[in-house]
């Protein structure tokens, strides 16, 4: 079972207490963007077999959104962090790099 620590309230929550929100760090597209960019924003998502950055909501807790970095193969959680940032914190990227040398958050692994 997936277990994440909510960075907002500090509670360790089981997957049943959380609501998934899909891929984290999407670049929003709006008026003025091309049709292709808007379509990609709406429909195209990474689906890696490995390190993934995701949005979660502590639905049966504080109700706030946060981000998590985890490995979809092993369910290993590298860390959780605020949803108010546009990129993963360096300490989490360092933790991922220890386990997955050569990992790039741009292209996955």
User: Which residues of this protein are in contact with Zn ion, per CB under 5 A?
Assistant: 6, 8-9, 58, 61-62
Judge whether 68 and 77 are in contact, CB under 8 Å: yes
Return all residues near 49 (Cβ < 8 A) that are at least 6 apart. 72, 73
Helix (H) or strand (E) segment spanning residue 67: strand 65-71
Q: 28 CB contacts (<8 Å, ≥6 apart)?
A: 41
* Min dist. Cβ of residue 32 to Zn ion (A): 36
Q: Which is nearer to Zn ion, 45 or 60 (CB)?
A: 60
Q: How far is the CB of 62 from Zn ion (least distance, A)?
A: 3
**Residue (52 or 57) nearer to Zn ion, CB:** 57
Select the residue whose beta carbon is closest to Zn ion and give its number. 6
Minimum CB–partner distance for residue 108 and Zn ion (Å): 28
Report helix, strand or coil for 97.
helix
In this complex, which beta carbon is closest to Zn ion, that of residue 63 or of residue 75?
63
């Amino acid at each position: 079972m997936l277990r994440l620590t909510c960075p907002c309230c500090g509670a360790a929550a089981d997957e049943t207490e959380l609501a998934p929100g899909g891929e984290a760090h999407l670049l929003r597209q709006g008026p003025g963007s091309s049709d292709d960019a808007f379509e990609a924003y709406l429909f195209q998502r990474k689906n890696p077999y490995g390190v993934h950055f995701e949005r979660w909501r502590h639905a049966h807790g504080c109700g706030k959104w946060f981000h998590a970095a985890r490995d979809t193969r092993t369910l290993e959680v590298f860390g959780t962090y605020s949803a108010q940032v546009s990129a993963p914190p360096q300490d989490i990227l360092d933790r991922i790099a220890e386990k997955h040398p050569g990992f790039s958050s741009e292209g996955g692994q």
